[in-house]
Structure 1
Amino acid sequence: MSNPYAAVAITKHGVEMVRNMAGQFPGTDVYYMTKFARGDEQQLGYNMFEGSVKLILPDLFKRYNGIILFISLGAVVRMIAPLLVDKKVDPAVLVIDDRGEHVISVLSGHLGGANELTRQVAEVLGARPVITTASDVQGTIPVDLFGRELGWIVDSFDKATPVSAAVVNEEPVALIQETGERNWWKYDKPVPDHIRTFHSMAETESFAFNAALVISDRLLTDEEQQRFMSNGVLYRPKSLVLGMGCNRGTSLEELEQEVLATLAEQNLSVKSVRNIATIDLKKDEEGLLALCQKYDWELVTYAPAELNTVTLPNPSETVFKYTGAYGVSEPAALLSSGADHWLLEKKKSGNLTISIARIPFKP
């Protein structure tokens, strides 16, 4: 797949629109029937096909993130029905009428991005976007997409459907945000009254809710799991920074084992780790680089002089002798996170030291 989107036309007017759109909407591969060829398709990189479009749809479903079809809605529904697997993996599917008046989000509106793609294509074509997803129409929280643009990870998805129903049906919903970005509300109006926001689970004691949205980097207790996750969705913001120091040549296996064990001891989720921070002497440390690659973390490094700007309760002359810094994991964690204190000041184990800090997000 050279581009994320495929645009397909099967009529004369559709071909005209798809050709015009291709020049204004980068990242789109064009497909239309050979009988509408104009002779410049090879030069432009357009794809021709013979026979029914139904024959090429299975391949397009596998290859593209989004499929834009200049075909009638009813025909599209019949053709894609046998191809549907799950909303977590199905591509976004859009339908555009033969006059280019309406762009309709048909499939994978949230997780697949069809709703946002619909808005973008409609703007290019000067058409009207048609989106029927309840949370978009009502202007409320899209449970299955909540926090995605902020980097949040959904840690428990099995209750997404009933929780979404509670949100759009205006049932009492508890939104507990212990950490993470606070600028998640995207509408120019207040959060709906039936969604009550709390800073901790303890604050919900007197609130009878039908569903819960929990934003936390903590591992929930059994009691919290039962109370909030029986009909709730848990989101993991990228709120933790691991400050690390290690001996040269420390293996990926040792680093990973100790990181996971330390986070578990602190009742913190590995899914909420944003990055590792260390001294610039370790910028080429193979074990650290491999760990960051495995978990898709950034490795942030600091010069000794930068690390020494942080006042440490227990500065080390030994560390200073070898690195020029009085500490590595502790100051690196604070500098990278912007915090003024540690969740874990320092833990030394084997060939490494670990410190943990939580990013102080603005209200």
Structure 2
Amino acid sequence: MKIAIASITKHGTETARKLAEDMQADLYYMSKFRHGDEEEKGITLFDGSVRLQLPMMFERYDGIVLIISLGAVVRMIAPILKDKKTDPAVVVVDDRAEHVISVLSGHIGGANELTQKVARLTGARPVITTASDVQKTIPVDMFGREFGWTFEYDHYLTQAAAAVVNEEPVLVVQESGETNWWKHARPMPQHIRTVTSVEEAAQTVHHAALVVTHRLLSEKDLASLRYPVVYRPKSIVIGIGCNRGTDEQEIEAVVDETLSELSFSKRCVRMVASIHLKKDEEGILSLVEKNKWPFITFSPDELNKAPMSEKSETVFKFTGAYGVSEPAAYLASDGGNIVLPKKRSGNVTISVAVM
């Protein structure tokens, strides 16, 4: 997170200077508290109300720590608030650094985490009022965030979050993705249950459903669930082989067509895998760079040790491996489920595994 720290009092400025150094944050305070080293340290001085600095900070920073009274901060930020998905985290520290309060964008914006960090550095007491944090249960708007899960269908985020904190029956429908998402020391509450498919969830009483899946869900699937929220885990691994010089457009067209045929979400692609010979293949490199996918390659010996549904003497003749896309997908997915062993399309061979 890119952090700004601002203070308007003498004592607050001393706290802010130390905190900014510890956090490598940008620092702002009033000119009358000048120390003389501001230019050297890149500290910004201002005159007049800090209110005038806040619109700029909201645009430039992910998190803002204000050593100012809570009431003043609430009044100052109210006119510039836009949306919980885009507003920065705002944290307030009192003038004696006794309390650190998460004020805005607690979950999605990271204010709760920022509050805990500031508290550790200052010795202050963290004040967090988000119900799911207080109750130590599932934070619906951050579920799976540490694994890279993203929202795709969040129309009922508020209703689902209410169901979790109000201890109403909630289902975690997990068709793929990491399973170690329960992070609390206490056992999972009885009102939260896990099932392995949308079909099973539809037949189970629930007030909200947190659906973790790589599949594209139909309107019928969504309609069968009460207050569904869909999360996209990074669980798909694509193995690719291609003729030398195959361009990015052809490779991506095959990837898109294949995922569509499987009814899989492209947002769930975790990585692309191939043979060492393809580590400099321009078409593949352009594809993974465009989509921000990691790209991993294996030696022929490694590929030959992996299971494959079909071995090709022709492929072996040119590469030293009896197969490329299928064993690469298997190895990159740590032995995941090969849902598409191999498909040839033009100059491209593709395989798909689900972790």
Task: Report the CA distance between 1:206 and its aligned residue.
Answer: 4.4
> Shift of residue 191 of structure 1?
1.2
**Partner letter of residue 271 of structure 1?**
R
Specify every segment of 5 or more residues in structure 1 that has no aligned partner in the other structure, as ranges: none
Report the AA paired with residue 262 of structure 1: T
Residues 274 and 340 (structure 1 numbering): CA distance in 2 closer, same or farther, change over 3 Å? closer
Sort the Cα spacing of 1:66 and 1:34 in 2 relative to 1 into closer, same or farther, 3 A. same
Alignment partner of 2:82: what SS? coil
Q: 1 CA distance for matches of 2:311 and 2:204? A: 47
Query: How far did residue 222 of structure 1 move?
Result: 3.3
* One-letter amino acid of the counterpart of residue 338, structure 1: D
Q: CA deviation at 1:227?
A: 1.2
Q: Does 1:251 align with 2:255?
A: no
**Correspondence 1:201-212 to 2 at 5 A:** 201-212=198-209
Partner residue, 2:62: 65
Cα RMSD, aligned residues only: 1.3
Equivalenced residues, count:
355
2:233 to 237, 240, 243: 237
CA contact (8 A) 2:308 2:341 kept: no
Which secondary structure state, in structure 2, belongs to the residue aligned with residue 342 of structure 1?
strand
What are the Cα deviations for residues 22-57 of structure 1, in whole angstroms up to 9, with x where unaligned? 23223x111100000011111222111111111111
Pick from 323, 338, 346: which aligns with 1:342? 338
1:173 to 162, 170, 173: 170
Whether the aligned pair in 1 keeps the contact of 2:309 and 2:341 (CA below 8 Å) is no
Q: Which residue of 2 aligns with 1:129?
A: 126
1:50-100 CA-partner distances (Å, limit 9, x unpaired): 111111111111111000000011111111111111011100000111111
The letter for the 2-side match of 1:12 is K
1:70 partner amino acid:
I
State yes or no: 1:163 paired with 2:157. no
Q: Distance in 2 between matches of 1:334 and 1:67?
A: 44
- Within 1, Cα distance between the matches of 2:152 and 2:336? 28
| Whole-angstrom CA distance in 1 between matches of 2:20 and 2:73 | 21
Residue pairs, 1:319-334, within 5 angstroms = 319-334=315-330
Deviation at 1:243, TM superposition (A): 0.5
- Counterpart of 1:13, as a letter, is H
Distance 1:319 1:185, change over 3 A: same
How many angstroms apart in 2 are the aligned matches of 1:172 and 1:311?
42
| Residues 161-204 of structure 1: CA deviation (Å, up to 9, x unaligned) | 11111111111111111111111011101111111111223333
1:142 match:
139
What SS does the corresponding residue of 1:343 show, helix, strand or coil?
A: strand
1:207 Cα deviation after fit: 2.3
Cα pair 1:87 1:112 within 8 Å, conserved: yes
Is 2:140–2:160's contact at 8 Å kept on the other side of the alignment? yes
Q: 1:11 aligned to 9, 12, 21, which one?
A: 9
Residues 1-363 of structure 1: matches in 2 within 5 Å?
4-26=2-24, 28-228=25-225, 231-339=227-335, 341-359=337-355
Mapped to 2, the partners of 1:288 and 1:240 lie a distance apart of: 17
Secondary structure of 1:56's aligned partner: helix
- AA matched with 1:257: A
| C-alpha contact 1:339 1:358 (8 A) present in aligned 2 | no
- The percent of aligned pairs where both chains have the same amino acid is 57
**Partner-residue secondary structure (3-state), 1:248:** coil
Residues 134-163 of structure 1 deviation map (CA, whole Å, 9 limit, x = unaligned):
111111111110000011111112211111
Contact 1:9 1:31 in 2 (8 A): yes
Q: Which runs of 4+ in 1 moved over 4 A?
A: none
CA distance in 2, matches of 1:307, 1:153: 32
Q: Cα offset for 1:340? A: 5.9
Contact 2:216 2:263 in 1 (8 A): yes
Mark the runs of 5 or more structure 2 residues left unpaired by the alignment.
none
Give the conservation status (yes or no) of the 8 Å contact 1:163–1:232: yes
Q: Cα deviation per residue 1:262-286 (whole Å; 9 max; x = unaligned)?
A: 0111121111110000011111111
Query: Structure 1 residues 202-211 or 343-352, which shifts more?
Result: 202-211
